[in-house]
A and B are shown apart, each in its own frame.
Chain A
Amino acid sequence: MSRVLLFLLGLLAASAFAQDTKKEIQKYQQMIAEGSPVELFELEGEALWKKPQGPRNASLEKCDLGQGPGVLKGAYARLPRYFKDADRVMDLETRLLHCMTTLQGRSRDEATKRVFGNENQPSEMEYLSAYIAAQSRGMKLAAGSSHPKEKEAYELGRALFFHRAGGWDMSCASCHGEENKRIRMQDLPVLSKKEYARPIVATWPAYRVSNSQFKTMQWRINDCYRQMRYPEPNFASDATIALNVYLTVTAAGEPYRGPGTKR
């Protein structure tokens, strides 16, 4: 992996002008996508989906992600959405957690003990997300937006996006609110606008080359709040789901092409 980073550094050093740098970064992104290990995460996720676990020694194969028990094709592209059995809007990870507790009989504490993995040991949620998201490739993003609770989540997500608080007075829009801005060398998408939200949402969850980890949307939101100097959002909380609804509804119509590969 360090060879790839050295290559990038070399490219950066070789490019005197910002425009050249941008082109070289695009070349680099194309290169890392071609050598991505995303498929390995999908395979491991499939094994976990089918593996009997928990007090009921049940697999997740009967888990209903919105398209019927066990139907995976196109399910991710229609999340987050309202689920009648839980009377709640849920994103992928929240729904998986629901299935772990109801179908497998696992406790919430046990199932959420380690939701974010690391380089040496990815988490169960990360593997499962890779497997399930991959089965929506080519399908248009169509998160739920018609049920009153879906509308309520969208409005809450939008308000959260522009809400300024935390140790550094930040909202999501502090970084993702203006066009053509960067943090260090990283371009910042204006996620309240569909032309920016579409390519981003369509490639999460994603493998991150810089730290060799597979990352989910729940992690993405969590780590933004860490850097915004907030306390930590609860995993699968309504606030995190609402933000996910806001972003995914804003990106509606984009063909899903993840799991992606990021810098």
Chain B
Amino acid sequence: MRLLLPLLLLAAPAAAQDVQKVLQRDFHARGQATMDRVVQDGLQRVCTESNDRPPAALAKQLEADQLKTISFPQGSLMGDWKSGERIAQNGRGLQWTDPAGSTGGGSCYNCHQLSPQEASHGTLGPSLLRFGATRGNGPDMQRYVYGKIYNAKAYNLCSQMPRLGYTGTLTPEQIKDLVALLLDPASPVNK
């Protein structure tokens, strides 16, 4: 028994903090992909440890913290849907192969259906076809869409959607253009 116990402990499930130590040991910074990225923040830790099912009260509290990270621009949140379509198509940004400081995209089509003309869309996220046509495009809806793109975790803590504004993947102007892609009546999404 004395001999067996350490062996059993070795094969026990690895805790998130131990996995983080492995990542810190076995990964290296390359380009803009720096090593601070393997240090989990609060929600990454909570979502990992709860298998994306955090206790409701904790989720609510952490979502409220994430909401505070969003700064909503003054005035209209609707930009140019044509520019939004290009941003939705663009899958670059934040990778070690992307030049630091270069403008990336939202990778939206990787996971969502948007304009009906684009058949090559992913299905990891819900279809956003006719998003504005079915939900309206008033100030509250604009604010929700802007906030959701800026920091998806403010609305659903363990969502698989990246925090595109919070992480600096997209600029406020780019997010406004995506709001227009989803909500502008002239956007192909709503035709």
Contact = CB atoms under 8 A, between A and B. Distances in A.
Asked if A and B bind, the verdict is yes
Contacts of B97: 226
A148 B95 contact: no
B94 A158 contact: no
A156 B37 contact: no
Chain B interface extent, by class: 35 or more
Interface string A226-237: 110111111001
B11 A151 contact: yes
**Which secondary structure characterizes the binding site on chain A?**
mixed
B44 A226 contact: no
Interface string B87-121: 00000001111000000000001110000000111
A180 interface: yes
Contact of B28 (A151, A155, A231): A231
A226 B162 contact: no
B75 interface: no
A165 B95 contact: no
A151 B9 CA distance: 10
Interface string B1-32: 00000010011111110111011011111100
B10 A180 contact: no
Interface string A214-242: 00000000000111011111100111101
Contacts of A62: none
B10 A169 contact: no
Contact of B48 (A149, A155, A164, A242): A164
B175 to A, nearest CB: 16
A238 B18 CA distance: 13
B38 interface: yes
A143 to B, nearest CB: 15
A68 interface: no
B14 A159 contact: yes
Given A184-B121, A238-B22, A231 B37 contact: yes
Given A183-B111, A234-B28, A171 B48 contact: yes
A167 B37 contact: yes
B122 interface: yes
B123 A180 contact: yes
Given A184-B121, A232-B28, 18 more contacts: A163-B20, A165-B20, A165-B48, A167-B167, A168-B167, A169-B163, A174-B124, A175-B124, A178-B124, A182-B122, A183-B111, A225-B27, A226-B33, A230-B33, A231-B37, A237-B25, A238-B22, A239-B26
Interface of A: 12, 21, 148-149, 151-152, 154-156, 158-160, 162-171, 174-175, 178, 180-185, 188, 225-227, 229-234, 237-240, 242
